[in-house]
Structure 1
Amino acid sequence: MNAHHQPQLPLLRSDAGGIATLTLNRPQARNPLSEAMLTALGEAFSAIAADRAVKAVILAAAGPVFSAGHDLKEMTAHRADPDRGRAYFADILGRCSAVMQQITALPQPVIAAVEGTATAAGCQLVASCDLAVAGEAARFCTPGVHIGLFCSTPMVALSRNLSAKHALEMLLTGEMVPATEALRIGLVNRVVPAGEALAEARRLAGVIAAKAPATVRLGKRAFYEQREMGLKAAYDHAAAVMVENMLARDAEEGIGAFMEKRAPVWEE
């Protein structure tokens, strides 16, 4: 059986140097967040969450489009259902939201490497990642408003990454945001020459992978926990986390190494 007749996997995974790279792999369909893609992402994140060898994750995409978001053909087919698709829409949106929350809950930091366009739920996917690197030709938008379908679920991730004015401008206009503007408004961390987003994401992942893994896991979790709290509760929570952190073996080693002017040796 030659390669052309093998079913195409919607998602590819490769691991090197403690970094897992997940690549959306349906370029001819613009990497939609279809049922198959959401299932594959969910399974990959579950496997990575339990994999102590993985210190950081990169989310990339094959082809000229990062992700066009929900598979509208798949969704429209269910308008013929007796309930006009209500149960299906609720299910697919719930599954998509669960995958976005998996990224936030993942112990390891996730870095999006974006070339081309990331639209609607594809833009939500970038906003849901902890960090994002964009090639200078990358573009972002939440275009639902053009077709009478406000991007309400992408709004959750956008509104937690951008200021209210910037998030609402994207949501209300549906206009394309170029990479440099995405950098200015905080949707991405850095912009690199076109074609170099993956290389830069790997460099960034390498910097993170060299840190104490237990400390990174603890810090990422605490960041998202405190962000949903009021000021006093956030400080109380962060202080309690820091007490536990101070008593952890890696902090003792790291502080000792700093004072003794030597390189720390982290636990796995």
Structure 2
Amino acid sequence: MPDGAAGLTAPILLRESAGGVVTLTLNRPSARNGLSMTLLEALGGALRDIAADPAARCVVIAAEGPVFCAGHDLKEITAHLADADGGHAFFAEAMARCAAVMQAIPALPQPVIAAVGGMATAAGCQLAAACDLVVAADTARFCTPGLDIGLFCSTPAVTLSRSVGHKAAMEMLLTAEPVGAEEARRIGLVNRVVPAAALRAEAAALAGRIASRSAHAVQLGKRTFHRQAGLPLAEAYELAAAAMVENLLAEDAAEGIGAFLAKRAPEWRHR
């Protein structure tokens, strides 16, 4: 879907599929890949399509240009200050649409990997944190700088606080200071740090490894992981035990166990 004059020749969200891996690339480099309403709509639509695609096994979210994502499009937000209500209705819609996308990522059946090269700021940091895994270039930085412009990054704090410890999250939120890739890995925001030139290849290799597994087991596991995370210990075990039973009864589990015992490669049926 195009976005502005540049969008006449290039869509703002690129999509390609290979070997069960779907790569979504934010394509607003001149706007620092800001999350305009149009880009949020495109992301939400792409995620809905992928959720219903049985051929999709894993998703990578990447970006064109030196910035992964600068968060909400501040020019778009500023333009609505002149609305009759001072921007209230637009701001509420923008926050709701962004929240829907951020919730769609963990709810997606397929695992999602963020490939972050460069800065991930505010809602851009939120986008990375919402993903199941993050591969970062050694040049990547993560920041929630809302207080620099009089805004506390309350919505980015939701995913950030679920990815790192509360103290680390609050330090990022209160100081607005950028966190480098290695520090982001230390606090749990990033899984892997690689040279910038190897970012796309590393993310693709990781996604390919996941895509080569039983889709049934992976999707059941992701769903169970997110559901148990907010439960008390006993309820979490009850949910996880039921998921294990369901998994053990699946065709792929019988195939995987049989292949292991027979010392051969499994042939997944994804059910």
Q: TM-score, normalised by structure 1?
A: 0.97
Aligned partners of 1:115 and 1:195 also within 8 Å: no
3-state SS of paired residue (1:84): coil
Which residue in 2 is equivalent to 1:137? 139
* Aligned counterparts, 1:66-215, within 5 A: 66-215=68-217
Q: In structure 2, how many angstroms separate the alpha carbons of the residues matched to 1:37 and 1:77?
A: 17
Deviations 1:57-77 (A, max 9, x none): 110000010000001111111
| Letter in structure 1 aligned against 2:124 | G
Deviation (angstroms), 1:22:
0.5
Q: 1:221 aligns with which of 188, 212, 223?
A: 223
* 1:247 corresponds to 2:249: yes
Deviations 1:220-245 (A, max 9, x none): 00000000111111111111111111
Deviations 1:76-102 (A, max 9, x none): 111112221111111100000000111
| Letter in structure 2 aligned against 1:120 | A
Q: In structure 2, how many angstroms separate the alpha carbons of the residues matched to 1:242 and 1:249?
A: 13
> For structure 2, which runs of at least 5 residues remain unmatched after alignment?
1-5
Percent identity of paired positions between Structure 1 and Structure 2? 63
Which residue in 2 is equivalent to 1:36? 38
3-state SS of paired residue (2:68): strand
Aligned partners of 1:31 and 1:67 also within 8 Å: yes
Segments of 4+ in structure 1 off by > 3 A?
4-7
Q: In structure 2, how many angstroms separate the alpha carbons of the residues matched to 1:5 and 1:38?
A: 15
| Letter in structure 1 aligned against 2:46 | A
Deviations 1:92-141 (A, max 9, x none): 00000000111111111110111110000000000001001011011110
Q: In structure 2, how many angstroms separate the alpha carbons of the residues matched to 1:225 and 1:262?
A: 33
Q: In structure 2, how many angstroms separate the alpha carbons of the residues matched to 1:5 and 1:201?
A: 27
Which residue in 2 is equivalent to 1:259? 261
> For structure 1, which runs of at least 5 residues remain unmatched after alignment?
none
Q: How many residues matched?
A: 265
Q: In structure 2, how many angstroms separate the alpha carbons of the residues matched to 1:195 and 1:94?
A: 35
Q: In structure 2, how many angstroms separate the alpha carbons of the residues matched to 1:51 and 1:118?
A: 28
Q: In structure 2, how many angstroms separate the alpha carbons of the residues matched to 1:124 and 1:6?
A: 28
Q: In structure 2, how many angstroms separate the alpha carbons of the residues matched to 1:5 and 1:177?
A: 32
Q: In structure 1, how many angstroms separate the alpha carbons of the residues matched to 2:95 and 2:197?
A: 31
Q: In structure 1, how many angstroms separate the alpha carbons of the residues matched to 2:258 and 2:128?
A: 38
Q: In structure 2, how many angstroms separate the alpha carbons of the residues matched to 1:58 and 1:195?
A: 17
Change (3 A) 1:92 1:5: closer
Change (3 A) 1:32 1:245: same
Aligned Cα root-mean-square deviation (Å): 1.1
| Letter in structure 2 aligned against 1:195 | A
